Amino acid sequence: MAGTVSTLAHVAKHRQRRSLGDPRWVRWSLIGLALLFVGLFLVVPLAAVFTEALRKGVGAYFAAFKDPDAQAAIRLTFLAAGIAVPLNLVFGLAASWAIAKFEFRGKALLIALIELPFAVSPVVSGLVYVLLFGAQGWFGPYLGAGDHPWLGSWINAHDIQIIFAVPGIVLATVFVTFPFVARELIPLMQAQGRDEELAAVTLGASGWQIFRRITLPNVKWGLFYGVVLCNARAMGEFGAVSVVSGHIRGQTNTIPLHVEILYNEYNIQAAFAIASLLTLLALVTLVLKNLVEWRHRRVIEAAAAADLRQFAS
């Protein structure tokens, strides 16, 4: 019940918080400062991406996407995100189920460890995989050298290369996008508690039924947003992927790396054209985020309104 009361208070506060009055000149100068800040640092760069991309007209804009190297980069980016996102989705579900529905020691530490990749510089995230799988790395000597009795020869036979190749890019992408889904789901599932699941157990539901019929529908919007964020980062990651990629055109370049190459070759217009694709992805991510938040608020307010009616009757 404590939850209901705080929800009611929250809704009430949302209604009245704008009534606080400051003098008109204070209000408008603060709004002006805030808008100037947002304009200079966010809006102008955003507008610049599309202006530079369309500088030579619509024809040149679309020509940048016809380049086979650009298409290969887009394919590789989709591949890396297509592997990293589902893996981290499964992880996020497992981690939030364990953390939110059960009590165990070291939970706070586990949550902190899950967020660890956020604290690691993208460059270091790439470096760790070079240290593990590079030519001088721990497992590196087994890759290609063939001195391990069976592992080396198996890898030789299958010509597997990890660093400066596609597997390294996938691994680095998995690492940098690791916390996204889990971080959205853990607080959400913790807030929802486990009463509904426990009721289902009492009624004889199996674990899989509980998960599919109760837990998953309850968290679907948070899950959706976590996946969207995870995907945006997976497709846009630059630093980590740059370290493990061989920068081979048409083979180990992702979209952001292709943008860098074009830019460094002074092919500015093409660089911004490809960059505009990632910018659109970022804008779609922001729109979806606000949509999910709006839905959340509506659900909370609807529940609060129902409670109000109960109080009244």
**Which of the residues 259 through 288 are near other proteins (CB under 8 A)?**
259-260, 263, 268, 271-272, 275, 278-279, 282-283, 285-287
**Nearer residue to other proteins within complex by CB, 201 or 302:** 201
Residue indicated by tokens 């947002």? 38
What three-state secondary structure class fits 181? helix
Q: Per-residue x/- mask for other proteins, residues 191 to 210, rule CB under 8 A? A: --xx--xx--xx---xx--x
Q: C-beta of 309: minimal distance to other proteins in Å?
A: 25
**Nearer residue to other proteins within complex by CB, 47 or 151:** 47
Rounded Cα distance between 262 and 69, Å, is: 11
Answer yes or no whether residue 239 interacts with other proteins by CB under 8 A: yes
Rounded Cα distance between 74 and 84, Å, is: 15
Question: Footprint of other proteins on residues 152-181 (CB under 8 A)?
Answer: 174-175, 178
Answer yes or no whether residue 35 interacts with other proteins by CB under 8 A: yes
Q: C-beta of 278: minimal distance to other proteins in Å?
A: 5
Question: Footprint of other proteins on residues 55-114 (CB under 8 A)?
Answer: 90-91, 94-95, 97-99, 101-104, 110, 112-114
CA 53 to centroid of chain Cα atoms? 25
**Nearer residue to other proteins within complex by CB, 116 or 191:** 116
- 57 residue type, one letter: G
Helix (H) or strand (E) holding 35: helix 24-38
Please name which of 230, 232, 239 lies closest in space to residue 121, comparing C-alpha atoms: 239
What three-state secondary structure class fits 45? helix
User: What values do phi and psi take at 267, rounded to 5?
Assistant: -90, 65
Q: C-beta of 6: minimal distance to other proteins in Å?
A: 10
HSE-up (13 A, CA, CB side) for residue 253: 19
Given 1, 15, 17, 68, the residue binding other proteins (CB under 8 A) = 17
